Structure 1
């Protein structure tokens, strides 16, 4: 029997219903009884609102369910805190708005072993609320993730949600995620860029499915385009941090061309009311992000920004 060597880390902030769904999907994982060591929930709310949810589910967990409150809001800080709660050599990340399919973790583990990858990613099915009309297909694609039709090594990385990482090679040090990305995100892009420069390998696990449920305040064209702009900023920001000025200039030139071409395409599609206009606007926003990548221009989605939004929505949360 193999030794238990995998921990699932789930950062969360004031999403008790979604967290419950995510945790129950982890508890229901099949074919990993001898591999799963810990499930770690990092409560990124200074008020510790996830504690009751975790305590209420503790008896249902097949392995130790660890609760860690990290009162400093921020996605990178939360991920680092989760790593500090387990010594497992393999770390799977699941977001608190995701639900894993029954063989999710088993597929990630098998793909990692077969491919010898430092990080393995799986596909995501985007789910959005009903009643969004012609925007539904675009938003489901936006919150989803597609990849190759078969397990294989990749020449690029995806996002941290729905991934399995070899701790020794992919997560160096006690705080591998850059806390300067706490509010804007992109901490995983920087991590994977550094891993790539070290010769790290990325893999794809085609059967390691999760569903991602976008909440109403995020399932909007405005939010998606803001995120697309932020995604576009990432190549330039990473190149700047790595002091690769020619790469910054290259990506800015690419971004300018993308912005011009896709803005015109979006305008034409909007005029004829073609639903593909959203995809064209997405590409234009990504191009614009490459042009306007400078510090201070990053949209804010996480950390203190998200906490402030939640306080406005529910100021009485205990």
Structure 2
């Protein structure tokens, strides 16, 4: 029987945490959940990931495939190609689903006309965060149950707990392979870019299911000023991609974002002297602004090159 839902877990060189995630998922959703399969996509791992997959070969709901091209977006598109299910639910390889997650998922996909669903993501800290780190920065919440606002629909949901209707994902061409994590290189924005294309094709066809939540591992190495700044910079640098219209409009949006974020960061910086928690917001604002400024320059150069070739 063709499953209604494929729970797709894309992974690369994360054998230890993958084993924990699969064990938790198996205990939560059961051995053979009705019309549901669990599909592991190994994105070219060089560690013990194949051995971990083999340990779950006796799980009736489980199977695995490989995607040799490095990149999370390629792995997600491999899941689309390997599945015949009506819905693809993408789950991070370090996400523990909540009790009732599967029931909430089934309720969301039963909504007529919906093509994109998501749920909250709460941090599961590997170690207590330092005083300057804002725990709220790694929480993903989307308001009450129901469709997102029209503006929020273009940003979509976080990819660690994201469902997409197969026909819609195929119609827009899947995930953009140029975006997202590629091997060990930090990349962001593939889910937001996809959400924008889905809105262009289908309008606001989103559904937020608050009970469809996960606890996402936040390792200690991500709670450093260097990582926070790097992630914010990358996010700011590609912000112009998320806006519709011509390249000039995108560059203009990115310029405004650069000015706003940098200004916010500068205003928060003095507060860090008396309130350590303000350092996180200041650092994030400055780095996002710097990244957005780089995005403006790149967009302008690209536009100039295109004009010169015309």
TM-score, with length taken from structure 2: 0.82
Q: Is the 8 A contact 2:19 2:52 kept in 1?
A: yes
Residue 147 of structure 1, aligned match among 118, 142, 146: 142
Shift in Å at residue 76 of structure 1? Answer: 1.1
* 1:290 pairs with 2:296: no
Counterpart secondary structure, 1:39: strand
Q: Is the 8 A contact 1:30 1:106 kept in 2?
A: no
1:4–1:220 CA distance, 2 compared to 1 (3 A): same
1:220–1:45 CA distance, 2 compared to 1 (3 A): farther
Which residue of the partner structure matches residue 264 of structure 1?
266
* 1:213 pairs with 2:210: no
Count of residues in correspondence between the two structures? 288
Shift in Å at residue 135 of structure 1? Answer: 3.8
1:196–1:295 CA distance, 2 compared to 1 (3 A): farther
1:153–1:237 CA distance, 2 compared to 1 (3 A): closer
Structure 1: distance between partners of 2:260 and 2:146: 33
Shift in Å at residue 131 of structure 1? Answer: 4.5
Q: Is the 8 A contact 2:12 2:43 kept in 1?
A: yes
Q: Runs of 4+ in structure 1 displaced over 4 angstroms?
A: 294-297
1:77–1:257 CA distance, 2 compared to 1 (3 A): same
Counterpart secondary structure, 1:179: coil
Q: Is the 8 A contact 1:129 1:219 kept in 2?
A: no
Which residue of the partner structure matches residue 253 of structure 2?
250
* 1:132 pairs with 2:136: no
Structure 1: distance between partners of 2:8 and 2:251: 33
Which residue of the partner structure matches residue 306 of structure 2?
none
**Alpha-carbon deviations, 1:246-285, whole Å to 9, x = none?**
232133123213212x122222112224312212322333
Which residue of the partner structure matches residue 162 of structure 2?
163
Q: Is the 8 A contact 1:125 1:143 kept in 2?
A: yes
Where in structure 1 are there 5+ consecutive unaligned residues?
298-318
Q: How does 1:182-197 map to 2 (within 5 A)?
A: 182=182, 183=185, 184-197=187-200
Which residue of the partner structure matches residue 314 of structure 1?
none
Which residue of the partner structure matches residue 308 of structure 2?
none
Q: Is the 8 A contact 1:27 1:62 kept in 2?
A: no
Structure 1: distance between partners of 2:35 and 2:294: 45
